[in-house]
Structure 1
Amino acid sequence: MHAIGKLRDFLKFLRSVKGDLANITAPPYFLAPYSVTEIGTCWVERPSLFAAPALEPDPALRALLVLKWILASLRRQLYIDSAPGGHSIKKPLNAFLGEIFRAHWSDGKATSHLVSEQVSHHPPITAVYMWDDEHGIRGEGYARVEMTFSGGIDIRQTGHAMLHIDRYDEDYLIFLPNCSVRGFMSGVLFPELSGTYHIVSSSGFVSDIVFSGTTLLGAGQRNAVKATLYRRDDPLKTPLYVVSGCWSDRFTICDGRTGEVMDVWDPAQPENAAAETVVAPLEDQDCWESRKAWQGVISALRRGDFGDTVTEKSKVENAQRRMRAAEKESNVTWQPLLFAPLSGGYEVFERLGSAVGWDLQADKTKGVWKVDRDKVKSLSRPFRPGLTPLGGDLDADIGRQGGKGERS
């Protein structure tokens, strides 16, 4: 009853908010102890899965491995601070403008890396770059997130991701799913996907992915998915491979011509476990890095101290409001460190997106965001000399916090 009571309070809170909910300050007991900038870790926390397409010589099987990688990543992406059948999913911390997250993963066979940056706050846009130099595979993407409430929380992502495999000079255009948060009446919130999405490869293959779930009356299967992979030039869309099952649990990959089971993805199997997320120790992180900047909030959430959560969170949020006001007064435009919007050059997107009628919608995301790989490689502390997320130089900010904090 305690959890249901909190959900009722949260429902009342949501009904009081008008418009986009993406930047709302949710009640502290619904917050996950990490930022939006960490969500992209789902794509690279299994390094061998991320690298697998680069090791496959057959183009159809490469496309299948990309499909498998994306579907296997959805569970961690959407079941935030939870697991299917467990406690309610949580809302990650709203990233502040200029926030950066860096990490890497290794499983003994491959090593993957990721960096993300909050490139816009109004509207909220996060850009991500991931790579494995040894195997010659890299991806990047960006998303504007909009949240609305109409009896449930509807989350819409505008943007896209692109994967590139060096060995085959091959590109993949990848969807970002919209999501509904359901379960307010039961007391356990869970994500549900619906609709049809696509992955398009420059080698001539398309994956159509259809998501479905339970109805309001309980019919259907929660988190169901069915995907078919076919040749782009085949008007009949004859399935080469078929994937079916549950994206948050087990799904089966079959040969579309024979029906033979080729693979079963089961996240519960030890060999499919995520690798450890490796980040620099807090004392070695820059003050603009997620875990350093939010360390007071993260610590308070983990020990269940919601009073301290609000206090620590307000320090960052109020400082950010002061910074935006000062920028407006001085007519200064914020410049991201690692990503920039393209002024043109959308040929790859347009060539692949035309296969499925995909609209770029760059006007809704302040452009198409592209990483500067040289800047990623050369990024070093301090990221922004003389400026911290609290609005001033480090020594002044430590004084503002009453002497607390670590030099970065």
Structure 2
Amino acid sequence: MALGVTAMESCSSPTAGEHKSSFPHFVDLVKLLGTIKGDLANITAPPHFLAPCSVVENPRCWAQHPKLFVAAAAEDEPQRRMLQVLRLFLAALRSDLYVGGGPGVSIKKPLNAFLGELFLASWADPDSAATTKLVVEQVSHHPPITAVHIAAPEHGVRADSYARVEMTFKGMVHIRRIGHAMIHLDELNEDYLLPFPDVQIRGFLGGCLYPEMVGTYKIISSSGYESEIKFSGLGFLGGGKKNYFEARVYNARDPKTNLYEASGVWSEGWQVKDVGTGEIIETYEVDAAANRPAPMDIASVEEQDPWESQRAWKDVVSALKHGELRHASEAKHRLEEGQRHMRAEERKHHETWQPLLFHSIPGEEHDIFHRLTKGTKWTLSDAMTKGVWKFNGETEMEKTQRPYRGGKTPLG
């Protein structure tokens, strides 16, 4: 549920002067990426390519549409519930990969989350009387792992996820997210396992970076129904269409018979067809007024704890928004130096950092995952994510009050 790219810079018909100012920055970025071997996930991008937000804010893409988040719980038929989960998955993609923007803008890299960073917010939808509550914590920095919990208690729907991000560069940036998301419907005791598709950042030669997904992925449900999504996108030789996909819903006992089909551009819109009747049952437009995110409810920066993302990065974000790149670098450096000091003190005193709102369990104890993936090629890779990350629970959350870590701050 969290990627780490954001859309900030327009790519639409720049003037000659804009080409002069922006192209050297792309050359500098390509040169930098070409000198780095291995994982780029914790590498700091040049200030020109930093977005004014942290990677821990990305999971809002799943929570900011409460009506979509709870829709499956209102369906009587299991195939319709699977269709609603597929719809939620598709609707979250643009906000996930084009954070704060959309097609026609060049994506930038969010700020690398620091260890212990928190993002806490909620969204309310008056039409469905649904409220989603989001809890995000950076539970590891080396490697970077983000843990997420979303709940709509009044509808009995919750989602949990965790992901480790790996980034490599070979002519384009390849982003691999190791982990998964799980949605649970309380009333039906039903689970849905959702993938994190790999992403390629393309457009370096044209000076307009954009995300593309390729490959085939599945959403698996304990109800016995599945969704298959095939991403194709724009080909290297010009064939295809940017951000294109085709998806289908079917019964796992009869995988060749499609019940619903969806196709289109995940960053713009798509249509859903009932295969049995041939009827188009939905046309979804990402930019339609009805599909806009609900207002976010979050504590003001002044009320937030020092470990909460928007307060911790406020000086960096303000400087980036005003184009004060030197000030942004200085403020960012102060926080990063504080983190290095904290890690050094922990090593000195033989201390181990403890996450606040999540804990890790061994992979063999993740029974739901193993049950849903039995007979598939889907592997857990828990050795690469320091186990499987679980939310401590609402009761523990209520007990955890500001100040979250006493007098300790991210500045060390």
TM-score band, normalised by shorter chain: over 0.9
User: Structure 1 regions of 5+ residues with no counterpart?
Assistant: 392-408
From 311, 325, 336, the equivalent of 1:317 is 336
Does 2:252 match 1:211?
no
Counterpart mapping for 1:266-345 below 5 A: 266-343=285-362, 344-345=364-365
Aligned residues: 389
**How far apart are 1:62 and its partner, in Å?**
0.5
Instruction: Give per-residue Cα distances to partners, 1:91-114, cap 9 Å, x unaligned.
Output: 011000000000011121321110
Q: CA–CA distance in 1 between the matches of 2:96 and 2:410?
A: 26
Q: CA–CA distance in 2 between the matches of 1:342 and 1:264?
A: 41
Q: CA–CA distance in 2 between the matches of 1:111 and 1:28?
A: 36
Counterpart mapping for 1:181-200 below 5 A: 181-200=201-220
Does 2:155 match 1:126?
no
Q: CA–CA distance in 1 between the matches of 2:341 and 2:115?
A: 12
Task: Give the conservation status (yes or no) of the 8 Å contact 1:232–1:355.
Answer: no
Q: CA–CA distance in 2 between the matches of 1:36 and 1:58?
A: 36
Q: What's the TM-score once normalised by structure 2's chain length?
A: 0.93
1:385 is matched by which residue type in structure 2? G
**How far apart are 1:326 and its partner, in Å?**
1.4
Give the SS at the match of 2:32: helix
- What is the identity percentage for the equivalent residue pairs of Structure 1 and Structure 2? 49
User: Structure 2 regions of 5+ residues with no counterpart?
Assistant: 1-18
**How far apart are 1:282 and its partner, in Å?**
1.3
From 195, 200, 206, the equivalent of 1:175 is 195
**How far apart are 1:190 and its partner, in Å?**
0.3
Q: CA–CA distance in 1 between the matches of 2:158 and 2:226?
A: 19
Does 2:106 match 1:88?
yes
Aligned to 2:29: 10
Aligned to 1:398: none
Instruction: Give per-residue Cα distances to partners, 1:165-187, cap 9 Å, x unaligned.
Output: 11111100110111000011111
Instruction: Give per-residue Cα distances to partners, 1:125-149, cap 9 Å, x unaligned.
Output: 0000001111110001000000000
Q: CA–CA distance in 2 between the matches of 1:142 and 1:210?
A: 23
From 91, 101, 105, the equivalent of 2:119 is 101
Q: CA–CA distance in 2 between the matches of 1:260 and 1:170?
A: 28
Does 2:72 match 1:50?
no
Task: Identify which range, 125-134 or 1-10, moves more after superposition.
Answer: 1-10
Does 2:399 match 1:381?
no
Give the SS at the match of 1:284: coil
Q: CA–CA distance in 2 between the matches of 1:14 and 1:319?
A: 26
From 60, 82, 93, the equivalent of 2:79 is 60
Instruction: Give per-residue Cα distances to partners, 1:311-360, cap 9 Å, x unaligned.
Output: 00001101101111111122111110111111342111001112532101
Counterpart mapping for 1:63-82 below 5 A: 63-82=82-101
Q: CA–CA distance in 1 between the matches of 2:32 and 2:300?
A: 37
Aligned to 1:397: none
Q: CA–CA distance in 2 between the matches of 1:121 and 1:26?
A: 17
From 222, 239, 249, the equivalent of 2:258 is 239
Runs of 4+ in 1 over 3 A off after TM superposition: none
Q: CA–CA distance in 1 between the matches of 2:108 and 2:399?
A: 34
Aligned to 1:390: 411
1:232 is matched by which residue type in structure 2? A
Give the SS at the match of 1:146: strand
Task: Give the conservation status (yes or no) of the 8 Å contact 1:31–1:91.
Answer: yes
Give the SS at the match of 1:167: coil
1:104 is matched by which residue type in structure 2? S
Task: Give the conservation status (yes or no) of the 8 Å contact 1:80–1:90.
Answer: no
Give the SS at the match of 2:290: helix
